[in-house]
Amino acid sequence: MFIVESYSLAVMLCFVTMICWGSWANTQKLASQKWSFQLYYWDYSIGVILLSLLMAFTLGSSGELGRGFIDDITQAESAALFNAFLGGVIFNIANLLLVIAIDITGMAVAFPVGIGLALVIGVIDNYLKDPSANQYIIFIGVVLIITAIILNALAYSKLPNKQSGSKKGIIIALIAGVSMGFFYGFVAESMSLNFEQPETGKLTPYSALFIFSIGLFISNFVFNTINMYQPISGEKTSYKEYFSMGTPKLHFIGILGGMIWGLGMGLNILASEKASPAVSYGLGQGATMVAAFWGVYIWKEFKTAPKGTNKILNLMFLLFIVGLGLIVYSKL
């Protein structure tokens, strides 16, 4: 299987993750113009599974290093399978809440508040499990990112035309962030620490991603079904509408969104051996900055903000960039 063999390549893959994780929600914005985000989310979850299988039977089944996908799945112990599956369930809860928050407040707020908080929690959680990075540098980076989150919330408070329920949207984003901060640790726990010579009973990244995606999809029948019939935001919808209203274009947009996110996840856990889980997760969740860029400059979610708000947003971006830079440097 393909394995990342250098820290520099691992960091590059984490930056690709950052772009993927920060950009997939554009597909939600596009699809939600035509149908509800709950129906979009079914296609998103299918996209994650399809991407995991694509990676498993290509990069995960070629080369002489590591363990091939089929061999890896069949030898895995139940504890490893459970951890990867549970990671998918926890992520699904968090991501559904994030999708709801995006629907209420937009990308430029939901991501910095929710995923920014997830970044902080995830870096700390993964560092405690694998303290291989410089503790002082990594935590200074975390403090800067917390400050950036606060600045984003401050900028949002200045909007004169905030949607009704916007305060609820921020609270939902915060809950999503807390949940999102813990899923990655379970996935990391399911994998062998040595990808070249994987530990017996543990998973390789490709198998872990597949089992993770199954956990996401299966739990969707509980959490997204509730969201469809008893929505926190938006109108009620049904499975009948999924099949009657969905056009090939709408289904494609949702599946594409899931594949974009899944690619980011696959590359991120591939990078985690060389970069450490704390650094790879922290860099990947720099997606907050990417998503905020889309929301501010492409979707114009702050176009009605009063004069001076752009200075706050620019400072937010600066602190995110410096904070992420320190997280990278902490492992050098």
pLDDT at 175: 93
d(CA 25, CA 187): 22
Domain that holds residue 170: 7-329
Residue 58 lies in a domain: yes
Residue 164 lies in a domain: yes
Half-sphere exposure of 52 (CA within 13 A, CB side): 26
Residues 6+ apart with CB under 8 A from 171: none
pLDDT in tens, the chain (332 residues): 999 999 899 999 999 999 999 999 999 989 988 899 999 999 999 999 999 999 999 999 998 889 999 999 999 999 999 999 999 999 999 999 999 998 888 888 888 889 888 888 888 888 888 887 888 998 899 899 889 888 988 888 888 866 556 788 889 999 999 989 889 999 999 999 899 999 999 999 999 999 999 999 999 999 999 999 999 888 899 999 999 999 999 999 999 999 999 999 999 999 999 988 888 888 888 888 888 889 988 888 888 889 889 999 999 999 988 998 898 888 76
d(CA 313, CA 315): 5
pLDDT at 228: 96
Closest CA to 14 of 264, 330, 196: 264
d(CA 215, CA 313): 36
pLDDT at 30: 93
Residues 6+ apart with CB under 8 A from 73: 203, 207, 210, 211
d(CA 49, CA 100): 22
Q: Per the structure, how many domains does the chain have? A: 1
Q: Do residues 181 and 121 touch, judged by C-beta distance below 8 A?
A: yes
- Look up tokens 């998918």; give the residue: 88
Residue 149 lies in a domain: yes
- Look up tokens 């997760």; give the residue: 281
Residue 43 lies in a domain: yes
d(CA 211, CA 128): 25
Residue 133 lies in a domain: yes
Residue 1 lies in a domain: no
Residue 2 lies in a domain: no
Residue 308 lies in a domain: yes
